Amino acid sequence: MHMGIDLGRCVDAPVFHVNGDDPEAVAHVARLALEYRCRFKKDVVLDFVCYRRFGHSEEDEPAFTQPFMYKKVRSMAPIDQIYGAKLKAEGVVTDADIAGWEKEYVDTLNKHFELAKSVTKLSIMDWIDTPWTGFFESRDPNIIKETGISETTLMTIAKHFAKAPDPYAFEVHKGITRILAAREKMVQLLLR
């Protein structure tokens, strides 16, 4: 079985495994990794042993492929509740403290959500974290090679991507049916 941490083996980097449900352990290991990197000037890998409560996107429903595991995951309390209960039990915080921080966090999210509505223009350069200087230096900027596909081919792919196999060899999960319907609606909008 290959894991993401295998990359660290290529450069002989130490790997620190940490329980993602333990914020204090995560902070400790992050500090340890930073100190290692500063002292030895070498890479280090952090392996957060945790799970996704939700999918990668609106369309990714992990319960489709791992229903028993995600039934268990959904029955577990979120980390903020677990850690809040721990700190309350230790007498470090009160319910009022936690409620105040939660309100402050939600208010911040809402404030920035409202600010985002006023943005009328985005620059791709705001999203690129690596400068592309030198990328086009070895190419003639006046010659652009054709790399696309025809609209007909693209729409054929999109139509098939929005439908379950035909004829149905199995019963399609209603969550997947909903996702496919949303995809088909998107394809129909593109065809207009």
- Answer yes or no: is pLDDT of 79 > 90: yes
- Is 104 within a domain? no
Residue 133 to residue 136: CA distance in whole angstroms:
8
Summarize the confidence of residues 131-145 as an average pLDDT. Answer: 72
- Is 89 within a domain? no
Residue at 153: amino acid letter? T
Query: The domain containing residue 41 runs over which residues?
Result: 9-50
Contact (Cβ atoms closer than 8 angstroms) between residue 187 and residue 158: yes
Question: What is the DSSP secondary-structure string of 112-171?
Answer: HHHHHHT-----GGGT--S--TTTTTTS-TT--------HHHHHHHHHHHTS--SS-SSP
Summarize the confidence of residues 37-63 as an average pLDDT. Answer: 85
Contact (Cβ atoms closer than 8 angstroms) between residue 70 and residue 63: yes
- Is 142 within a domain? no
- Answer yes or no: is pLDDT of 103 > 80: yes
Q: What are 104's strand-pairing partners?
A: none
How far the first Cα of the chain sits from its last, in Å, is 46
- Is 18 within a domain? yes
pLDDT at residue 145 in the model: 79
Residue 141 to residue 185: CA distance in whole angstroms:
38
- Answer yes or no: is pLDDT of 11 > 80: yes
Give CA angle at 71 (66, 73), nearest 5°. 95
pLDDT at residue 112 in the model: 95
Which of 17, 35, 50 corresponds to the end of one domain? 50
Q: What are 18's strand-pairing partners?
A: 48
- Answer yes or no: is pLDDT of 108 > 90: yes
- Answer yes or no: is pLDDT of 72 > 70: yes
Q: Which residues contact 10 (CB under 8 A, 6 or more apart)?
A: none
Percent share of the chain, pLDDT over 90:
44
- Is 73 within a domain? no
Q: pLDDT per residue over 159-177, tens digit each? A: 888 888 776 677 888 888 8
- Is 174 within a domain? yes
Reduced to 3 states (helix: H, G, I; strand: E, B; else coil), residue 68 is helix
- Is 136 within a domain? no
Taking Cα atoms as reference points, which of 87, 112, 108 lies closest to residue 98?
87
- Answer yes or no: is pLDDT of 107 > 90: yes
pLDDT at residue 25 in the model: 97
How many structural domains comprise the chain? 2
- Answer yes or no: is pLDDT of 157 > 90: no
pLDDT at residue 164 in the model: 82
- Is 23 within a domain? yes
